[in-house]
Amino acid sequence: MTVLDHRPTAPVPPWLPGATDPRTDPAPLLPDHTPVRVLGTPELAKHDPELLRDLYRRLVIGRRYNQQATTLTKQGRLAVYPSSTGQEACEVAAATVLRPQDWLFPSYRDTLAVVGRGVDPLAALTLLRGSAHTGYDPVATRTAPLCTPLATQAPHAVGLAHAARLRGEDVIALAMLGDGGTSEGDFHEALNFAAVLNAPVVFLVQNNGYAISVPLTKQSAAPSLAHKAVGYGLPGRLVDGNDVVAVHEVLSEAFDRARNGGGPTLVEALTYRLDAHTNADDATRYRVSAEVEAWREHDPVTLMERHLREAGVLDDALVARAAEQAEALAATMRAEFHAEPQLDPHSLFQHVYAEPTPQLREQADQLAAELAAEAGA
């Protein structure tokens, strides 16, 4: 018996009763009407104060990280930075829920999740600095390269989760993408493969209301993006993406389900990017400041601080500690990015194939000769 346990049984003729009954699932298919929230509810009390404090600390550090990276673009130290300012709750929850053996499949916006799971900040930003493509070892860090072609990382997550399951290993893959990415064919194909293979994978869609300038109303007519789960026979979950505890809780449930053979989950987190799409974007062209201000009222960092203080889980000392750690990270980033990057022109040819082809060897020689001539001149 294989783990897939495909039984290509005859399709039951539809005139027999029972043939077309909707799947009855312990995890109901349709998401709730209202997004899951924990902050400001009695549920908060049920959470481990240590976890809450850790999430808070990570949020503060994450915000500072976003700010520092944005500053680095202004100083020309980063080529481009797609900030997750305003979306730190999702980034932090994702990083926190991942166990060492799990894999993360981030999009370009998810450097914070990458750093949060332990990848060196400089390495995580290498792509955006422009000195190399991926700055970290994906296998060692169990973190796929930041993915730019939208939704293309989703089937990778499925394939990896499937392979791990085939090998009997307890590994979960988390694919992160945006609301716009859900429109791509690859998103659809990945969710369908995940469902059919019952792969231990979780899809986290950060619905920040925009794909660059395109608002969600032009992106989808669905009641919610979480509703997209229904068409694959998957459970869909809607969560307040600025409530880090809620996101953590919903992701944890999804991870538990995956770990227990319950298969994939689609999570939609409602959030907002407070910055422009990237430093190259002018967000005033497509959204009004009143909207941004309204969302600032629901800032994931201040929200968390307020509620934890109310709950007596956080005090001034801890807040100061978090701020200090954040400053330390920012200082490290400034120092690291101050140094000029090491650049090796010959690296261009080194990893196209395991062994360079004769053609690439010729071309590498050509470049070497050119560089030698330049150096000589």
Ligand X SMILES: Cc1ncc(C[n+]2csc(CCOP(=O)(O)OP(=O)(O)O)c2C)c(N)n1
Answer yes or no whether residue 212 interacts with ligand X by CB under 6 A: yes
Q: Shortest gap between Cβ of 190 and another protein (angstroms)? A: 6
Q: Which of 35, 106, 155, 180 binds ligand X (CB under 6 A)?
A: 180
Instruction: Give, in order, the Cα–Cα distances in Å from 360 to each of 57, 228, 354, 371, 372.
Output: 48, 46, 12, 16, 18
Residue 286 annotated to the active site: yes
For the four alpha carbons of 330, 287, 175 and 37, in that order, the dihedral sign comes to positive
Nearer to its own copies, 284 or 350 (CB): 284
Answer yes or no whether residue 148 interacts with ligand X by CB under 6 A: yes
Whether 158 and 199 have beta carbons less than 8 Å apart is answered as yes
The whole-angstrom distance between residue 30's C-alpha and the CA centroid of its chain comes to 23
Whether 208 and 283 have beta carbons less than 8 Å apart is answered as no
Whether 232 and 187 have beta carbons less than 8 Å apart is answered as no
Answer yes or no whether residue 180 interacts with its own copies by CB under 8 A: no
Piece of the chain touching its own copies by CB under 8 A; list 32-40, 55-63, 116-124, 309-317: 32-40
Tokens of residue 343, six digits? 């650049």
Q: Shortest gap between Cβ of 177 and Mg ion (angstroms)? A: 9
Residue 273 annotated to the active site: yes
The whole-angstrom distance between residue 85's C-alpha and the CA centroid of its chain comes to 13
Candidate list 286, 287, 306, 321, residue with the active-site label: 286
Nearer to its own copies, 230 or 329 (CB): 230
Residues 248 to 287: which contact ligand X by CB under 6 A?
277
Q: Which of 43, 54, 186, 327 binds another protein (CB under 8 A)?
A: 186
Answer yes or no whether residue 211 interacts with ligand X by CB under 6 A: yes
Piece of the chain touching ligand X by CB under 6 A; list 49-57, 144-152, 325-333, 366-374: 144-152
Side-chain-side CA neighbours of residue 188 (13 Å): 4
Q: Which of 309, 286, 304, 172 is nearest to 240 (CA)?
A: 304
Size of the site for Mg ion (CB under 5 A): 4
Nearer to its own copies, 13 or 376 (CB): 13
What is the C-alpha to C-alpha distance for residues 267 and 311, in angstroms, rounded to an integer? Answer: 27
Answer yes or no whether residue 134 interacts with its own copies by CB under 8 A: no
Give the residues lining the site for ligand X (CB under 6 A).
109, 148-150, 177-181, 208, 210-212, 277
